[in-house]
Structure 1
């Protein structure tokens, strides 16, 4: 648990790309051998599942989605072997997120449903069901299923509203109002509900401090995207200038890819002087970032969150 907390804290601040190898080494040398020690009991499977899922997220953050899928699949099998249904449901939510990256809305919805089924068979953890309903909402929104998306998003808010401090499962990463706001903004963006998306996006940014560098950067990118789609270029540039302050050493390919998506949204508007000037600064910052992350960057990658 101490190792998990240390990796999780470092990941939030510096990104997963640089930590991926360290987590794999920890799994290989410290956790793996215990899986064959019959005296350890089922709890070791939960520890292995949680750390393997973390490796999956770090692979995803490093632009290695194929590796991430493999880690999530192994983590799910470990959680089921250990009989930890909430953890299995939590991992299913991660599978749903990963499916969205490849625009597979059917798989994303299926994994969210699987997670809700697993969660219903274990102890009630409102933060977990809130996360799963949020992923269900995102899948439905991406598929333009407006009524279903709205229903799932409303349920996520209701569930999270009943969560208390004693709810958290020891191996589940926290799902708080900031994360819900971030995901809700993306779902509402897909639905074309830009005013509601703006409110959610602003809430997501406000909920993230400097100690959550990657989450703050991703929330700002979403907020800037919303401003562009609403036609408010000056507001988008205000957020964009904040993004230029994101540490170029942040080891997250996902942030780089989404920053590129923001740049692509601005390109059609470069006839506007402030946008043109911003894109020059953006290009300089991007080159510096790519130099520092050259060993992590894949040759291609998507921009969906």
Structure 2
């Protein structure tokens, strides 16, 4: 591990835990299943070469003499991103941090590497931040995002820097800092004005600004920011950028549902929430779960408890092995929203099934979610 300004990576907590006996074997099996399901090269998850991998062109002991090209960083990021969408970030966070420490950080001090290695470091550090957030460690996520921004600036990739600012805006909103979320969105928009125009990126930033303004009850500015995001995406083909995660059709639908919900425009919010679920059903288990949570939430706020219960049953079928603490937290918020309606029979019956499903999920996530005070599992 390098130190000083060129040492933006560390691995406390999740990847620093020792694993012994049965727990080590179980976790190893989980990583092997993830690697084989998503064809992630074994070394990216700290595993031996998988049986389906082609023979390596360069032996491991030669790595220091033959550092990987930028394309290998992109391949690694694509593999991690694909697995994260389906399996959640909880069990991948340590692998991404190890990849940063072992494969990327040493090249930051190599004068022959060039600026693109800083872009790779920024993009993967931002990804580690999202995985930390998905694991319930928002303080660690903020640290990763704070490290990613100067790396992106050093690379000269202003869209990537704006992308990191959008992630910081999202995190600020999640921890209840609406003013900070607006500030980060504006920072990102300022950066996009200095670089090549990528409509999907400005749409994401305007959407985050709209969400924060809606939470802050700034209704008119929020509506204007949402309109700006929609204009960004109208009739414009998505620009290709190697490091940016896509802001596809489902993403603005999902975010619009949340914004309109916070603006108490529930009928419009419902339309977008249903669209987001339909667009997510083909993949992305975590996004589908979050979209279904939003759909149930909006039905409850509209007073349509039968629709909420119907959508809620679909929600409980969403990937119970998903290693996302963020999903668990939002499920708990949804349960609190439903609890006042327990006197209605279908809701009461649903909550029984909900609690059973939650207990099963918590057993699968026991190594990711620490016990709450008093010894009970959170």
TM-score (norm 1): 0.96
Could you say what the CA RMSD is over the residues aligned between the two structures, in angstroms? 1.0
Aligned to 2:199: 126
Runs of 4+ in 1 over 2 A off after TM superposition: none
CA distance in 1, matches of 2:93, 2:184: 24
Aligned to 1:259: 331
Deviates further, 52-61 or 207-216: 207-216
Is the CA contact 1:126–1:162 (under 8 Å) kept in the aligned structure 2?
no
CA distance in 2, matches of 1:142, 1:58: 24
1:176 pairs, out of 225, 248, 265, with 248
Aligned to 2:130: 57
Is the CA contact 1:63–1:298 (under 8 Å) kept in the aligned structure 2?
no
CA distance in 2, matches of 1:226, 1:9: 29
CA distance in 2, matches of 1:160, 1:32: 36
Cα shift readout 1:252-272 (whole Å, capped 9, x = no counterpart): 001111111111111001101
1:247 pairs, out of 319, 327, 338, with 319
2:219 pairs, out of 143, 146, 167, with 146
> Structure 1: 5+ residue runs without aligned partners?
301-305
Q: Secondary structure at the match of 1:18?
A: coil
Is the CA contact 1:127–1:168 (under 8 Å) kept in the aligned structure 2?
no
Higher helix fraction (1 or 2): 1
Aligned to 2:279: 207
Aligned to 1:14: 87
Q: Secondary structure at the match of 2:241?
A: coil
Q: How many residues align?
A: 299
CA distance in 2, matches of 1:108, 1:162: 28
Mapping of residues 38-187 of structure 1, within 5 Å: 38-165=111-238, 167-187=239-259
CA distance in 2, matches of 1:162, 1:86: 21
Deviation at 1:247, TM superposition (A): 2.1
Q: Secondary structure at the match of 1:40?
A: coil
1:291 pairs, out of 344, 359, 363, with 363
Aligned to 1:194: 266
1:279 and 2:279 correspond: no
Cα shift readout 1:123-152 (whole Å, capped 9, x = no counterpart): 010000000000000011011111110111
CA distance in 2, matches of 1:272, 1:121: 55
Aligned to 1:28: 101
Deviation at 1:209, TM superposition (A): 2.4
Deviation at 1:77, TM superposition (A): 1.0
CA distance in 2, matches of 1:218, 1:131: 17
Q: Secondary structure at the match of 1:192?
A: coil
Q: CA 1:88 to 1:59, structure 2 compared with 1: closer, same or farther past 3 Å?
A: same
TM-score (norm 2): 0.78
Deviation at 1:177, TM superposition (A): 1.6
CA distance in 2, matches of 1:93, 1:284: 36
